[in-house]
Structure 1
Amino acid sequence: MSTPPSTRARLGFGLIGPRRSRHAVPFDELASLNLPVGDDGTVIGVDAEGRPAVLGVNRPTPYEVTLIGGLWTAQVLALRAAATGARIAVETGRAAAWTALAQAAGGGQPCISLHDVGRVPPQGASAGSPVVVVRDCGMRPPRGRVVAGPWQSVVTLLPYLSPVAPRLMAKSALVGIQRVSPDEAAQIGRILHLSPSESQALSTLADGVTLWCANRDRQFVMTQATDAETGLLGSARRMD
């Protein structure tokens, strides 16, 4: 006797399952489905409303970041980028300040490498092995041998507003500013076309707070360390 059509197996698809109505939402109700998450990337802190602030440093296109701030914030950023699977190459003239971080990161895997200024070798970045180059080279970093490229971002750390800062900020897709002097705040405000209130705030920012600027977008972000980060790097600080 032949198998009833209702239970006959479909070639390659198994038995026909129960019939249910389609899950559909009217177009004017789609906005109600928004989820409180940011873009893929590295969580660098929380915004003024306490929502996660996410920085996507692993990109298929060149991406340059300038941070005028403290070593602590740069190291937290490097540590968290490494946790997302990126390899971190640190170009620095103060290797001793990075050694503990490089040894602790990656659970024994060499995910953070340290290099003298001007001695960063080609990193071979790819979609499966993205790279973040952190340039901690003082007030006047020389032009880097390794530049931003596909899947390779470059983060340049400046302790203060130096003579090379305007050039670096002009070519960066993202600029982060931590607490600076009132005179520096005024100069940065002119360079980045900040509002008067944003410029004035730069000289009063708490440790761990950064104003991130991308084109016309502005966002104050508080970086809060985890217990593990605090044990390794100490509390948030602007000065080193």
Structure 2
Amino acid sequence: MGFGLIGPRRDRHAVAVEQLDALALPVGDDGTVIGVDAEGRPAVLGINRPTAYDITLIGGLWTAQVLALRAAATGARVTVETGRGPAWTGLAQAAGGGQPCITLHDVGRVPPQGASAGSPVVVVRDCGMRPPRGRVVSGPWQSVVTLLPYLSPVAPRLMEKSALVGVQRVSPDEAAQVGRIMNLSQAETEALSTLADGVTLWCTARDRQFVMTQATDAETGLLGAARRMD
């Protein structure tokens, strides 16, 4: 004997074994979706990590800003170190629905960020062709993305120390240099000078992947269409 009223009786929630496959959910890598690969599958960048993670992007401001927006959407705090604040002001004001999830700082003026597993940080360094050594470096739960508009004299050093390198359309001479630094195949090297706007070759020490970044309607309204030049 129990206490209280007897509750309603319902059938058990059960499915046949042959129906289990219909309940499967597509689960990919954890991280920020930066576009789609050549087969149209989502390309995901795990940017929030418990270890130091450096990224060098030789490309346009548009791609860096899309990456910043999407990193913020995953819950990261995004800190932008830039010498062209007006180019980032609209993005910082629009992101986060009024919450300060993207903050802007002058070059060399980034304070300690206090990154943690519960509050990861992505530092975007938009400091021109020769970015000075940053006061805030990568560390646990704090990744650093360095944006270079072209292959500058400091690019080889940055590329060699980075865990991930992204390259957008460059000149044939620059492509040849990138190919030597990153050990690209001849086909990959030649493709670098013909890439469409929004396409990036992402490289690690072992892997290469061409990714097309496709903006959402909200991103297009804020940042405009994909472009390599600014």
Query: Structure 2: which 5+ runs fail to align?
Result: 2-11, 18-22
In the alignment, the residues of structure 2 paired with residue 147 and residue 35 of structure 1 have an alpha-carbon distance, to the nearest angstrom, of 37
1:52 corresponds to which residue?
A: 42
In the alignment, the residues of structure 2 paired with residue 89 and residue 37 of structure 1 have an alpha-carbon distance, to the nearest angstrom, of 29
Superposition TM-score, scaled by structure 1 size: 0.86
1:184 is aligned to 2:181: no
Q: Deviations over 1:147-180 (max 9, x none)?
A: 0000000000000000100100011000000000
2:82 corresponds to which residue?
A: 92
- Identity over aligned residues, as a percent? 87
SS at match of 1:175: strand
Q: Deviations over 1:200-232 (max 9, x none)?
A: 000000000000001110000000000000000
Q: Quick check: 1:38–1:53 contact (8 Å CA) kept in 2? A: no
Bigger radius of gyration among the two? 1
Residue 144 of structure 1 deviates from its aligned partner by 0.4
2:155 partner letter: A
1:218 partner letter: R
1:193 corresponds to which residue?
A: 183
1:185 partner letter: A
Residue 36 of structure 1 deviates from its aligned partner by 4.9
1:139 corresponds to which residue?
A: 129
Superposition TM-score, scaled by structure 2 size: 0.90
1:68 is aligned to 2:58: yes
| Structure 1 residues 1-240: aligned runs within 5 Å | 36-240=26-230
Q: Quick check: 1:66–1:176 contact (8 Å CA) kept in 2? A: yes
Residue 34 of structure 1 deviates from its aligned partner by 9.2
In the alignment, the residues of structure 1 paired with residue 82 and residue 47 of structure 2 have an alpha-carbon distance, to the nearest angstrom, of 20
Q: Deviations over 1:40-75 (max 9, x none)?
A: 000000000000000011100000000000000000
1:45 partner letter: G
Q: 1:65 to 1:224 in 2, by over 3 A?
A: same
Q: Quick check: 1:136–1:158 contact (8 Å CA) kept in 2? A: yes
In the alignment, the residues of structure 2 paired with residue 141 and residue 163 of structure 1 have an alpha-carbon distance, to the nearest angstrom, of 11
2:170 partner letter: V
Q: 1:51 to 1:45 in 2, by over 3 A?
A: same
Query: CA RMSD of the aligned region, Å?
Result: 2.2
- Count of equivalent residues: 218
Residue 125 of structure 1 deviates from its aligned partner by 0.3
Residue 35 of structure 1 deviates from its aligned partner by 6.5
SS at match of 1:94: coil
Query: Structure 1: which 5+ runs fail to align?
Result: 4-17, 24-32
In the alignment, the residues of structure 1 paired with residue 38 and residue 25 of structure 2 have an alpha-carbon distance, to the nearest angstrom, of 18
Q: Deviations over 1:123-161 (max 9, x none)?
A: 000000000000000000000000000000000000000
